[in-house]
Amino acid sequence: MICLEINKGDFVTRKSYNNDTIFKVVNVKDGIYYLKGAEVRLYADSLLQDLVKCEAPREEPLENFERSTIDIEKDDYFYLPAKVLHCDGDSEYLDKCLKFYKQAGILAIGKKIKEEDMYEQVGMLLKEYKPDILIITGHDAYYKKKGDINSLDSYKNTKNFIKAIKAARNYEKSHEKLVIIAGACQSNYEELIKAGANYASSPKRVNIHALDPAIIAVTIALTERNKEVNLKETLEKTKYGKDGMGGIIGNGLMYVGYPR
């Protein structure tokens, strides 16, 4: 069987998984191809014979995302969307999210931090930037071979996300004053919520899209403070809906002023 040459930097899918996810080849060593999801926050490895070379995924335009639920006359009012601090364990996914925020007109500060180091830095960053919304994300995984879905030892980084959430809640206890969106692929959703997150992944332990935390953040940032964020509609904007993300009901964080 002849396989097309596949090199570091190429985009591929896996035949054994029905070519359902596009990956970028990040390394090749001893015949093993190390892969990172192009859009999904997922790491994997594969043999060459299981890979199919493909094109890079097309970025979805912001027009496909409903920017806000504002229903008042924009010519007479001015708007101050919420500020976002986005801490991400992956620089490429962080860049995608920062581009998304910019397109949406949201002020966002991005910090690339290893998942295990986030808890040490989050308090300092919150004091420095004073955001309304904090995102704690990167990479995670549920290891089925370890068995217990409820044990934090069965997850790659859920423990680290929990420590970061708790550090953030030491800075601001109110879920209304600081909205926390936490987790990555297959994270222990229930424990992240218990730790103090407003929104988290992943209720069904599925993978999430790189932009899912940012989509939720933008929705909150562009919803007025006196309006409740429609939780179900917000989750439906994400890649896998309520299977991938969940959360608690709360209000938006955008100020509206008059006159413009």
The domain spanning residue 234 has which CATH number? 3.40.50.280
The model's pLDDT over 29-74, given as tens digits with 9 standing for 90+, comes to 999 999 988 888 888 889 999 999 998 887 665 555 554 444 455 5
Same domain, 143 and 229: yes
Structure-derived torsion over alpha carbons of residues 210, 215, 216, 220, reported in degrees to the nearest 10: 150
Same domain, 150 and 21: no
Same domain, 43 and 145: no
Band of residue 249 on the pLDDT scale cut at 50, 70, 90: very high
The model's pLDDT over 95-127, given as tens digits with 9 standing for 90+, comes to 999 999 999 999 999 999 999 999 999 999 999
Same domain, 18 and 123: no
Residue 4 inside a domain? The answer is no
| Residue whose token pair is 């397109």 | 103
From CA 21, how far away is CA 209, in angstroms rounded?
11
pLDDT attached to residue 175: 98
Same domain, 166 and 212: yes
Per-residue pLDDT at 174 exceeds 70:
yes
> For the whole model, what pTM was predicted?
0.88
Domain with 168 in it: 62-257
Q: Sheet of 84-88: strands edge to edge?
A: 108-112, 84-88, 133-137, 179-182, 199-200, 246-247
Same domain, 108 and 36: no
Structurally, the chain folds into a number of domains equal to 2
Cα–Cα nearest to 13, from 23, 28, 5? 23
For all residues of the chain together, what is the average pLDDT? 91
Same domain, 99 and 17: no
